[in-house]
Amino acid sequence: MQHSNIKKNLKVSALVQDTIRDDQGKLSDTGALIINTGKFTGRSPKDRYVVKDEKTKDSVDWGAVNIPISTEVFDDLEARINTYASSMDKIYMRDAYACASRKYRINIKVYTEYPWQNLFAYNMFLRPDGEQIKDLVSDEWSILAFPSVTADPKIHGTRQDNFSIINFTKKKIIIGGTAYTGEIKKGIFSVLNYVLPTQRKVLPMHCSANVGTKGDTALFFGLSGTGKTTLSNDPNRRLIGDDEHGWSSSNVFNLEGGCYAKVIDLSENKEPQIYKAIRYGALLENIGLKEDGHTPDYHDSSITQNTRVSYPIDHIDNIMYNSRGDLPKNIFFLTCDAFGILPPISKLNKEQTMYHFISGYTAKIAGTEAGITEPQATFSACFGSPFLPLHPSVYAKMLGEKIEDSMRAGGHEEINVWLVNTGWTGGSYGIGTRIELSYTRAMIKAALNGELDNVEYHEHPNFRIEIPRSCPDVPNAILNPRDTWRNEVDYDTEATKLVRLFHNNFKKYAEEAGEGITDAGPSV
């Protein structure tokens, strides 16, 4: 993008001042900038497109996630953005990059219509210093985010007038019709999910990661509401990052330079690290305010349940300074099983690991969305299906290979993979109770400390995963979910229902996944 009105790499203070000057936001009582993203308060996955051309036609997993669009449509919408941008008084540009491991770095130029969009890019991507900016001249990717530019569905064939389009050949992302900042973040994550596996042999992961005092790295995969952020923020372990990571042959590294946390019902007692991070430089989105007009009301969901804050990762005290860690020793798949069937912790073998990774299971509970009156299973491949340009089996097979390679490279006898249920026990939602957070923390601590390595295990009759018979600081009675139900026949009936939900979901992956992984799933 070449225009004379581009303002490059403005400081945080200048972006905040421009936002307030243009009456687009205000400061909170802690100095964070409060803005409203308008009509869209979340991503719009049905309006995310990938240009289908010679580069992508045979490599992208086309379908409901990766919706094809033509080069001609992309070029026309990009031209509309450039025409609109040339008429503006000021455009904001940010030099940034993704991947904390320099060897795999993806350089990015972010062009935005609004100053607070540029602040979001500053917070979320890695920030180059003065010398590194020189290295970014030959940038690899550009993002053009201009909410005022819309598509015409009759002309462009889009579903509606908003769009987010990735062009892997031109190495550009164009975003229009929506000001929701998450489209910027997840656009680049989608790019990395294509580039890193195919060109750099790095596994991109939708997970959080931390490091213990002995240098042991742990990964936490999980969908919204499973406890990924809560459980990875441990005062005794250093945070690598809270959402996106790469797994190379030598280490695990953060793909980002910041955090984008949900703040609905946030409290200092519940999430002290996030609460303290919301200060000058942080960007609060779609938050309700108390009567003084400046104090956030984190319990106010009148605008959206998806209230958010972005901030640079150094707003968190207990972090890995280089955003990297050694090869992982423990991997946790977090699920909130509202049916009360899965054990609070269990161990997976390699094939089961890939099966549950592809499945990406959790469950929504009554009241979380309109129309949901009972638990509802949710499957998101690789715990991040909306961001996967390739077939999920590619990432699953790569995960299996990484586990094997890491054990050889790191000298580990074994990389432990755990399935952790943070949901219900003693019955499904409405009958049983949610597993106490203190017990979940104790189980994860025991796994990390090796205290579950030598205990006795037994096999779950349906899922065939290994359940420990004992765990320090956790009652033995809750470890086997079947024992917690009043009526074991009811448990067996519900377990069979959940098994069938897994089977039905996995049918679309079975051919690519192969017989070994498919057979590692649960049985009736």
Q: How large is the average pLDDT for residues 253-270?
A: 92
* Angle (deg, nearest 10), helices 350-359 and 392-410: 140
411: left (phi over 0), alpha (psi -120 to 50) or beta: left
Q: Is 229 a catalytic residue?
A: yes
pLDDT digits (tens, 9 = 90+) for 220-257: 999 887 888 888 888 899 999 999 999 999 999 999 99
pLDDT digits (tens, 9 = 90+) for 97-130: 999 998 999 999 999 999 999 999 999 999 997 6
pLDDT digits (tens, 9 = 90+) for 18-65: 999 999 999 999 999 999 999 999 999 999 999 999 999 999 999 999
By the 8 A CB rule, do 301 and 282 touch?
A: no
β-pairing verdict for 308-312 and 324-325: unpaired
By the 8 A CB rule, do 255 and 242 touch?
A: no
* 115 membership: H or E segment, kind and range: helix 115-124
pLDDT of residue 205: 97
pLDDT of residue 364: 77
Alpha-carbon torsion, ordered 393, 397, 403, 406, to 10 deg: -120
pLDDT of residue 229: 81
CA distance 497 to 501: 6
pLDDT of residue 135: 58
Catalytic residue among 71, 224, 301, 496: 224
- Mean pLDDT over the full length of the chain: 93
By the 8 A CB rule, do 389 and 190 touch?
A: yes
* 78 membership: H or E segment, kind and range: helix 71-86
By the 8 A CB rule, do 295 and 29 touch?
A: yes
DSSP, collapsed to helix, strand or coil, labels residue 144 as: strand
CA distance 155 to 160: 11
Catalytic residue among 28, 37, 41, 43: 43
pLDDT at 374 over 70: no
Catalytic residue among 206, 238, 324, 460: 206
β-pairing verdict for 67-69 and 296-297: unpaired
Among the listed residues 490, 470, 466, 489, the one whose alpha carbon sits nearest the alpha carbon of residue 479: 470
CA distance 233 to 248: 23
In 157-306, where does DSSP find H-type helix? 182-199, 228-232, 272-277
Among the listed residues 122, 266, 272, the one whose alpha carbon sits nearest the alpha carbon of residue 184: 122
Question: Which whole-number Å values give the CA distances from 521 to 198, 210, 508, 516, in the listed order?
Answer: 27, 29, 14, 9
Catalytic residue among 80, 94, 228, 391: 228
pLDDT of residue 273: 87
By the 8 A CB rule, do 399 and 353 touch?
A: yes
Catalytic residue among 105, 172, 186, 238: 186
In 411-524, where does DSSP find H-type helix? 437-448, 481-484, 488-513, 515-518
Cα angle 62, 67, 68 (rounded to 5 degrees) comes to: 85
CA distance 201 to 204: 10
* 310 membership: H or E segment, kind and range: strand 308-312
Q: What CATH number should be reported for the domain whose range is 205-247+327-518?
A: 3.90.228.20
Indicate the domain borders of the chain. Answer: 6-202+258-315, 205-247+327-518
By the 8 A CB rule, do 446 and 452 touch?
A: yes
Instruction: State which CATH number among 3.40.50.2000, 3.40.50.1110, 3.10.450.40, 3.40.449.10 fits the domain covering 6-202+258-315.
Output: 3.40.449.10
DSSP, collapsed to helix, strand or coil, labels residue 261 as: strand
CA distance 397 to 355: 10
Q: Is 243 a catalytic residue?
A: yes
Q: Is 171 a catalytic residue?
A: no
By the 8 A CB rule, do 518 and 503 touch?
A: no
pLDDT of residue 368: 43
Close Cβ partners of 401 (under 8 Å, ≥ 6 residues apart) = none
pLDDT at 193 over 50: yes
Catalytic residue among 245, 308, 324, 460: 308
CB half-sphere exposure, 149, CA atoms < 13 A: 25
CB half-sphere exposure, 183, CA atoms < 13 A: 31
DSSP, collapsed to helix, strand or coil, labels residue 208 as: strand
Does the pTM exceed 0.85?
A: yes
Q: Is 249 a catalytic residue?
A: no
Q: Is 186 a catalytic residue?
A: yes
Close Cβ partners of 231 (under 8 Å, ≥ 6 residues apart) = 220, 332, 334, 422, 440, 441, 444
CA atoms 401, 403, 404, 409: torsion sign: positive
**Can you give the length of the chain in residues?**
524
Catalytic residue among 47, 234, 242, 243: 243
pLDDT digits (tens, 9 = 90+) for 274-330: 999 999 999 999 999 999 999 999 999 999 989 999 999 999 988 998 999 999 999
Among the listed residues 87, 93, 109, the one whose alpha carbon sits nearest the alpha carbon of residue 8: 93
CA distance 88 to 91: 7
- When pLDDT is cut at 50, 70 and 90, the band that residue 217 belongs to is very high
